[in-house]
Structure 1
Amino acid sequence: MTEIRDVAIGALMKEQRVLMVKRSERETSSGKWCLPGGKVEEDETPREAALREIKEETDLEADIVDEGDVFLNETRNGKWRVHSFRMIPENFEVTLNEENSEFQWLTPSDTEELETVGDGAALESLGLK
């Protein structure tokens, strides 16, 4: 049986736009767009993981203002229990780490034009789609 792993992702909001990042060449799902986030470590809650991953990937500090429904997502890289959070960053000065190569602030409907790793369900769980 395939292990289900927990991941936490953050929908960082700037007015009515959400921050999307593009996975770099060295990462799984290279070239695809996604909400920033990653695996929940053994010693942290999904909320803590979301805040940590946002800081690591974008260098932004943020406040969680809403939590979406938890849902399952299956990709070629495994099965994931996804915890999604709507966040307001303290500022909008994004500095990407090596995991991502680009970012864009997009309306939720604009994200439908991107090749993503399946973040439509996360946006829906937060009432953004």
Structure 2
Amino acid sequence: MVVGGAVFDQGRLLAARRSAPPELAGRWELPGGKAEPGETPQQTLVRELREELGVEVRPLERLPGEWTLKPGYVLQVWTAELCSGEPRPLEDHDELRWLPPDRVDEVDWLDEDRPAVAEAVRRLLSA
């Protein structure tokens, strides 16, 4: 399983541009990563965002749906609140952007992330 984070802060959504692997480089995603054996999705999200972005987050709720990334890998997305730290691209990304709801379409999201991004924006707008 892969867990992605729809990280919210000040009414904005965090987007991360992939730097690897080559077939994904330059496209944008909700940051996160693969679960390790025995981890819950929430634990995976906290660990991955600490490793990839140097931040602490609090997982809030799982967005509906799952998306197949490749055989054996299914993406779940959780909303998360930024608790501490300023996100910076430490691993697998070369740029980060905080996007207000009316600007999320300005980046080229990975296809698998688009439904979760749309749902995350709906939640941001209704908050």
Q: Decide which structure has greater helix share.
A: 2
> Alpha carbons of 1:63 and 1:27: their partners in 2 closer, same or farther (altered >3 Å)?
farther
CA RMSD of aligned residues (A): 2.2
Alignment gaps of 5+ in structure 2: none
Residues 1:57 and 2:52 are matched in the alignment? yes
Q: Per-residue deviation at 1:33?
A: 0.6
Give the direction of change, closer, same or farther, for the CA distance of 1:80–1:128 in structure 2 (3 Å limit): farther
Tell me, what secondary structure is at the counterpart of 1:48? helix
TM-score (norm 1): 0.80
Is residue 2:117 matched to residue 1:123?
A: yes
Pair 1:86 & 2:52 matched:
no
Q: Percent identity?
A: 26
Corresponding residue for residue 34 of structure 1: 29
Equivalent AA in structure 2 for residue 32 of structure 1: R
Runs of 4+, deviation exceeding 4 Å: 25-28
Matched, 1:97 2:90: yes
Q: Which stretches in structure 1 are left out of the alignment for 5+ residues?
A: 1-5
- CA displacement, residues 78-108 of structure 1 (integer Å, 9 cap, x when unaligned): 4642211111111351122131100000023
Q: For each residue in 1:25-72, what CA deviation from the matched residue of structure 2 results, as whole angstroms up to 9, or x when unmatched?
A: 555511111111111122211111111111111110011122211312
TM-score of the superposed pair, with normalisation by structure 2 = 0.81
CA contact (8 A) 1:8 1:84 kept: yes
Hey, what does 2:100 align to over in structure 1?
107
